[in-house]
Amino acid sequence: MLEKTMRINSLFDFYQSLLTPKQRNYMALYYLDDYSLGEIAEEFQVSRQAVYDNIKRTEQMIEEYEAKLLLFERYIKRQELLEKLREAIANENEHSKALPLITSLEKLD
In terms of Cβ atoms closer than 10 Å to its own Cβ (0-12, 13-18, 19+), residue 7 is middle
pTM: 0.80
Give the closest residue to 81 by CA, choosing from 95, 51, 102, 60: 102
Distance separating alpha carbons of residues 36 and 26, to the nearest angstrom:
10
The per-residue pLDDT for 44 is: 97
**Model pLDDT for residues 39-94, shown as the tens digit of each residue:** 999 999 999 999 999 999 999 999 999 999 999 999 999 889 888 887 777 776 66
Dihedral through CA 84, CA 78, CA 58, CA 28, nearest 10? 70
Q: What are phi and psi of 49, to 5 degrees?
A: -60, -40
